[in-house]
């Protein structure tokens, strides 16, 4: 079980909230509202709906089961479907039927985090979240307990399975002083082109986050007009911003650039490293374009 003090950790609370909000977003059409992960997910009903929605598939299971045996059988089928999805990608599966049905919150969190990462959920999980778990064993009629630290999340990139480090990882970790030089060069490069539309960038983190400048910049670099009905010129929701950044990525692929390492959601979530990677990609190809 989780040490009660760990449950009060702000990062742990944020992780649980982000996952609950995500599950509820996915299942909004099913009129399912999850309030407590361990109470609402243990019997396999919500997990079944979640997997069917995410994987666009139909599982062959009984709709409602009240008996413990029926619930566990259903859970077994749902988890087998999850394992078939995740196992080929090298995920470590840190849950089983008994743990989920036993309302083990750590196991349920591991499962949801893996699904969110696998399906590239448009959410940002707090990084480096760990919990203290109390393990109680019975030996010779006496109870023995000890604490172990269970790591729930690492960094977004590690969890996404993108282990190949690049120059930006090194820059952030070992040469933060040189970061401002790189940012300045990229701002100069972007403004050289955006100034033609009387636009100016002063801050990389936020001004590219809604995708508008990225789309316009691609049009300027490739010398074409981007029709306004292809993107949102004044996006006011997370989804509209993600649409814009994803559209800019499509334009980059059309221009012969490699698929960006970042996800559109990372750029929208003001992740500086992701934004720098995308702009540096453009800079290396178009730095000599007038």
What is the pLDDT, as a whole number, of residue 152?
Answer: 85
Q: Which residue has the tokens 């972007």?
A: 190
Q: What is the pLDDT of residue 167?
A: 62
| Cβ–Cβ under 8 Å, residues 41 and 108 | yes
Backbone angles phi, psi at 216, to 5 degrees: -65, -40
- In eight-state DSSP terms, residue 2 is B
Neighbours of 200 (CB within 10 A): 12
Residue-by-residue pLDDT tens, the chain, 290 positions: 788 888 889 999 999 999 999 999 999 888 889 999 999 999 889 999 999 998 888 888 877 667 888 888 889 999 999 998 887 766 778 899 999 999 999 999 999 999 988 887 877 788 889 898 888 887 888 888 888 888 888 766 556 554 445 566 666 666 667 778 888 889 999 999 999 999 999 998 899 999 999 999 999 999 999 999 999 999 999 999 999 999 999 999 998 888 777 788 889 988 888 898 899 889 888 888 88
Question: Measured between alpha carbons, how far is 24 from 37 in angstroms, rounded to an integer?
Answer: 11
Domains and CATH numbers, the chain: 4-126+155-161 (1.10.418.10), 167-287 (1.10.418.10)
pTM reported for the whole predicted model: 0.61
Residues 6 or more apart from 89 whose CB is under 8 A from it? 118, 161
Which residues, listed in sequence order, are joined to residue 136 by a DSSP beta bridge?
Answer: 145
Tokens of 213: 């400048």
DSSP letter for each residue of 7-51: HT-HHHHHHHHHHHHHHHHHTGGGT---S-HHHHHTTSHHHHHHH
The enclosing H or E element of 143 equals strand 142-151
């Amino acid at each position: 079980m989780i040490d009660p003090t760990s449950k009060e950790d702000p990062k742990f609370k944020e992780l649980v909230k982000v996952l609950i909000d995500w599950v509820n977003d996915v299942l909004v059409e099913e009129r399912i509202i999850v309030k407590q992960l361990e109470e609402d997910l243990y019997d396999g009903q919500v997990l079944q709906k979640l997997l069917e929605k995410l994987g666009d598939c139909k599982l062959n299971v009984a709709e409602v089961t009240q008996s413990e045996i029926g619930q566990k059988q259903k859970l077994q089928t749902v988890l087998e479907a999850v394992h078939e999805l995740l196992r080929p990608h090298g995920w470590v599966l840190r849950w089983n039927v008994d743990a989920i049905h036993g309302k083990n919150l750590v196991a349920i969190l591991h499962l949801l985090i893996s699904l969110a990462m696998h399906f590239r959920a448009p959410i940002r999980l707090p990084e480096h979240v760990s919990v203290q778990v109390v393990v109680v064993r019975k030996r010779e009629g006496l109870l023995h307990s000890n604490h172990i630290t269970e790591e729930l999340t690492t960094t977004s990139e590690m969890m996404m399975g993108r282990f190949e480090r690049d120059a930006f990882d090194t820059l952030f970790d070992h040469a933060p002083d040189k970061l401002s030089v790189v940012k300045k060069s990229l701002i100069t490069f972007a403004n050289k082109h955006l100034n033609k539309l009387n636009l100016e960038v002063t801050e990389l983190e936020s001004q590219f986050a809604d995708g508008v400048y990225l789309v316009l910049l691609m049009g300027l670099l490739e010398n074409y007009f981007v029709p306004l009905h292809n993107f949102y010129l004044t996006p006011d929701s997370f989804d509209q911003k993600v649409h814009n950044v994803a559209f800019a990525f499509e334009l980059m692929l059309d221009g012969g650039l490699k698929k960006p390492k970042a996800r559109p959601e990372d750029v929208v979530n003001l992740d500086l490293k992701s934004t720098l990677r995308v702009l540096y990609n453009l800079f290396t190809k178009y730095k000599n374009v007038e």
